[in-house]
Amino acid sequence: MINTTNQTDSAKRRSELVRSPESIVFSGDGEPQSPESIIERLNSLLAAGDLHPDAYSLGGSVEEFERRMADELGKEAAIWMPTGTLANQLALRRHSGTNARVVLQEQSHIYQDEGDALARLSGLNAIPLAKDKPYFTATELQEALHRSVTGRVLNPVGAVSIESPVRRQAGQVVPWGEIQSITQLCKKMGIPVHLDGARLYMMSASTGIGIKEYSELFDSVYVSTWKYFGSPFGAILAGTSEFIEGMFHDRRMFGGGLPSGYMATALSLNGMDGFVDRFGESLDKSKALFAILNKLPGIGIHQFEHGSNVFELRLGDEIDTDQFVESLLDFKIVIPWLKSEWPLPLLHVNSSMLRQTNDEIVKAFSSVLTAHS
């Protein structure tokens, strides 16, 4: 019989630790935010005169953030969206025009997590490739494009979308050479390519390839602004001035013209300051830490071949993984484990890594390991 009381107590404790500014939280890509931390940051922004109201997501801090992100991505223009789903949908809708097919990864957020919105809202048909894999190759794409125009009825592809890193594949990235080959092929065939770069900054830090280098290969780029810039919600969509021109009408038509977005974008602007350096420091620290942990008996931290900031925790058969993860809470180390999404616990590296020294973290793992051996 399942002890629901213990499960509830554990979940409550875990939630409290996630909100603690002293905890290491191996979840998400940015420093964990709490209601208290967000209010504190907003008060600081207000005191500094850095909260500039907008009008239905036009002007103010929203426009400031759009300009800064366009510059960060090396694009002519950018528009803020309340969600990444909306950014993806409006980008592919505009790119495709009357060519109603969109090629994407079978494991992508657009295909798996956006409720068939391409078909339901825009009359676009998703063509998924690379089933249960992080990415498709340029060769596989070329074959799909060929099939679309050689059948008994022509069904030309209007756009190609690439998600990288791929959340459902433990944050694995599409290799740089493959991205180059795919985008070159699409450019040759006159097909626009959209980057679902929700975690673009994680990919860039992990591969050493610049944000602008990735961005310039794509006709449009979406970046999440809540996953790591410390905003409660938001996304950015960037492209040419022609592509972004009038996009606010589409945003409003789809219910995304919020009466007020300045607090979210002001928090994003604030969260961007120093983020690249903090995340880079966290990633470097994690590599040193994992090298030490891998020397402990019964513990293995696995780096994926095309990984980003996500690593797999592998424990010896004699160790109860659930109990091990639970015991780490005593040392203010939180490792969420969504068994429905991945068979082993995943360690998401973020700037909460900087809250404890590597020696302290190693001591915690060693203590728990001894207790469960």
Give pLDDT tens digits for 32-86: 999 999 999 999 999 999 999 999 999 999 999 999 999 999 999 999 999 999 9
Number of neighbouring beta carbons within 10 Å of residue 180: 12
Let me know if residue 34 belongs to a domain.
Answer: no
Contact 225, 235 (CB under 8 A): yes
Same domain, 163 and 208: yes
The DSSP annotation for 82-110 comes to S-HHHHHHHHHHHHHTT--EEEEETTSHH
Let me know if residue 81 belongs to a domain.
Answer: yes
Let me know if residue 101 belongs to a domain.
Answer: yes
Same domain, 121 and 229: yes
Same domain, 15 and 99: no
Let me know if residue 307 belongs to a domain.
Answer: yes
Contact 112, 169 (CB under 8 A): no
Tell me if the bond preceding 165 is cis, omega within 30° of 0: yes
The span from the first CA to the last CA of the chain, in angstroms, equals: 26
Going across the sheet that includes 125-129, the strands are 77-81, 235-239, 220-224, 193-196, 157-163, 101-105, 125-129
Domain boundary among 210, 241, 272: 272
CA distances from 30 to 216, 225, 254 (A): 25, 10, 28
pLDDT attached to residue 11: 84
The count of structural domains within the chain is 2
Same domain, 313 and 216: no
Domain boundary among 272, 305, 339: 272
> CA-CA distance, 61 to 51, in Å (whole number)?
7
Q: Which two tokens stand for residue 187?
A: 């450019």
Same domain, 129 and 250: yes
Q: Where are the beta strands (DSSP E) in 10-156?
A: 24-25, 77-81, 101-105, 125-129
Whole-prediction pTM: 0.95
Same domain, 143 and 113: yes
CATH of the domain at 69: 3.40.640.10
Contact 301, 313 (CB under 8 A): yes
Tell me if the bond preceding 345 is cis, omega within 30° of 0: no
Going across the sheet that includes 310-315, the strands are 299-303, 310-315, 346-348
Same domain, 8 and 149: no
Let me know if residue 320 belongs to a domain.
Answer: yes
Same domain, 174 and 204: yes
Tokens 């097909």 locate to: 191
Q: Which two tokens stand for residue 241?
A: 């001035």
Domain boundary among 272, 302, 319: 272
Let me know if residue 359 belongs to a domain.
Answer: yes
Number of neighbouring beta carbons within 10 Å of residue 322: 12
133 contact partners, CB below 8 Å, separation of at least 6: 105, 106, 107, 169
Same domain, 232 and 288: no
Same domain, 212 and 120: yes
Same domain, 63 and 124: yes
Number of neighbouring beta carbons within 10 Å of residue 171: 25
Contact 211, 200 (CB under 8 A): yes
pLDDT attached to residue 340: 84
Same domain, 63 and 138: yes
Let me know if residue 24 belongs to a domain.
Answer: yes
187 contact partners, CB below 8 Å, separation of at least 6: 193
146 contact partners, CB below 8 Å, separation of at least 6: none
Tokens 């994680």 locate to: 202
> CA-CA distance, 270 to 213, in Å (whole number)?
24
> CA-CA distance, 135 to 129, in Å (whole number)?
8
- Which of 361, 362, 342 is closest to 353 using CA atoms? 361
> CA-CA distance, 281 to 210, in Å (whole number)?
16
Range of the domain at 117: 39-272
Rounded (to 5) percent helix, strand, coil in the chain: 50, 15, 35
Q: Which two tokens stand for residue 361?
A: 């973290």
pLDDT tens-digit profile of 92-113? 999 999 999 999 999 999 999 9
Let me know if residue 254 belongs to a domain.
Answer: yes
CATH of the domain at 367: 3.90.1150.10
Residues of the chain with pLDDT under 50: 1
CA distances from 143 to 157, 229, 332 (A): 12, 39, 50
SS3 30: coil
